[in-house]
Structure 1
């Protein structure tokens, strides 16, 4: 990286929830990055449906995936331009864009993961260097390729004396264990928002359950919850990661009865997310003193209240990362800005204890401006 490159990086994240693009401008001139601006740009319904459909095999999917990647890059471009307009900055003042891409397949057990993106097009449209394809190198080194955000959590949220756990609730929920003195670990613990969102879309026409109000109108179904939690993934030891390949509506429907009221199923799915998080912390992160939530699920009031109730027995407080200086909904995008900054400096971005890789790796491929 050229000397004098400004320490400003844009992070782009479009996660498993498929609700749109989060764009964050991070200033990395200090150890703890500062958020200078943020933009959220929703997907149009047609693009969202196509990205969702591409999670499963279908006709002409290679061409459809390439076209969707182009459309996604244009969407990313719009988010970047809005962010630059908001902050009054020029493209040449930005060191890089860290663009994760849209995951449509994640099969680390078969040695591959696929994130739709066209970083060359994004670099061309924005005039800014792009860092992309973050997962592949970790996978090549024997890792799961995910989750990657725990390294950022460790850099930004660790405390010298307090044992913290960071819970990122996106489409999938993942945990980062931050005991004092290091030994950082983390893993995907199960579905976050994706099943709740899909079930809500099917039965209410809304893309997600605002504040968890629909789930709160129902009653959890103990037998259904027990059946869902019996999935081997929840018992598998870390390192582990997952996605829509495993947790999807077909997986849910295999356990449903026509007698179940839709709102009761939604209440059960909310409880599933909360229970999986609680059980994983209790099983693998004993001694946790604080639970900090981030991701879109941190804005689901009913889910947050359920988690607080679950951790009340151990007197473990549950709060949002807003109180630590990074708004819950921007943590993941800022993490990919941070990972891109690491890549530009030739610094590793993965944690082998988290992903299972054989060694730390510099992540991502760089597309010049």
Structure 2
């Protein structure tokens, strides 16, 4: 009697890997990826190999996401301390003997040149989620104080490089964990009020504070100039204000329906600096108009909403805090980028998720989405 072994089909072999993925989240990610490819083809077709490279980066990000999604939250939890420690050590090494470009020391050569601050975008929420998971049921003032110290160390190291944009992203990712862990409103409200007073003061006294002889303690001169340029871009329309003015012109010229695919004059006549990276939304809005921008915003809102649903249904404190922080990090990316391109925030060099060109950013995005998928899958397994 012979035994016949049936060879599993390709789908049967892939099903354990692809099965259990969150359907709504996957659909939104695919929509954003499609918008990103269409946008990059238009704004980058005459910009070397940007479109092909963007497609390659998306494929790498997708592979990273698929791999990360297979790692259960329990295993992610064990990676928190080593990854955070590695990130802080690399930041210290960068401070001591990093590579300096354009006055910023953000890179280090370890055989390959890397930017250690990118690690902290995910290591930070991982570490704080691990911290609160270990002390579940004991979230009192001392626990929040230690968490604040764990957050402050890498943020200051990144700001020292200087890299204000990445420092904001790392800071916000940690603050989101503290918020979801139940940080008291008695601590949150005074900070918000202080920020509101500071912003109001700068707006009302901008002409005085932006004089060359007035020093802004705690900020470098170029950071002061970015804020002053935001208040009045026409102060230097062909210099520091050029980015903001051209971005606003491109967005406004798109009108309701836009100028059409590959028909953006501001974009293709190269009036928009960094049109494939930080200011890619200006090119998108010029060609697809208010309707296209509205569709993009709806996709981001859907991504954030679905992420928060996954966080709310997460089975453990660690996965709940991590999913919430990752989800609101997407909000920070989008809000800061759209704000700086439209002239309501200073230019700080934050990419627009899925749309902006960037290999490192795409890998980080893939890792974050993979972690979110992993948490969604663990919720499904718990319910079976």
TM over 0.5: no
Larger Rg: 2
Question: Could you tell me the TM-score, scaled by structure 2's length?
Answer: 0.24
Structure of greater relative contact order (alpha carbons < 8 Å, 6+ residues apart): 2
Choose between structure 1 and 2: higher helix proportion: 2
Question: Could you tell me the TM-score, scaled by structure 1's length?
Answer: 0.25
